[in-house]
Amino acid sequence: MGWESTHVGSNITTRAFIEYYIRRTYDGIYESVKIFEGKNIDGQKAFYVALKKLEDNSIFASVFLTERRNGQVAVKIIGESAQPFYYEAPESFINVLTPSATLEGAWWRNRCLESKEEVA
């Protein structure tokens, strides 16, 4: 999936926009359980979003990569099974998720946990 851009007011934080985007896009299908805001790196910020699938109550992760430019918020969504190259999700976030349905998702979760151990 590519980038999607939306015009927003300067008084709206990127996090508030992500929360709105989730409600608008996934209402009735998924709901946000937890959001962890990563660091701003080279003008991009990753939001780690735990989404609960309402059909079966499974909870998985997606990385919402964001960038603000020219009065817009650009968003690129990367599901955990695509093994995003972003590993800031803390253990408290990973622990909210139900067991991964894919090996790729499990690998990504483990990589996030290992990244925290490397820093310590």
Domains in the chain, please, with CATH? 4-119 (3.10.450)
Asked if residue 119 has pLDDT above 60, the reply is no
Per-residue pLDDT at 82 = 96
Asked if residue 23 has pLDDT above 70, the reply is yes
Asked if residue 32 has pLDDT above 80, the reply is yes
Nearest to 81, CA basis, from 107, 112, 55: 107
Q: How many CB atoms lie within 10 A of CB 71?
A: 11
Cβ 31 vs Cβ 54: under 8 Å:
yes
String of DSSP letters for 19-46: HHHHHHHHTTTEEEEEEEEEEEETTEEE
Per-residue pLDDT at 19 = 96
Q: What is the pTM of this model?
A: 0.92
Greater pLDDT, 90 or 119: 90
Residue 86: which pLDDT band, with cuts at 50, 70 and 90?
Answer: very high
C-alpha span between 106 and 104 (Å, rounded): 5
**SS3 state at 18:** helix
C-alpha span between 3 and 115 (Å, rounded): 26
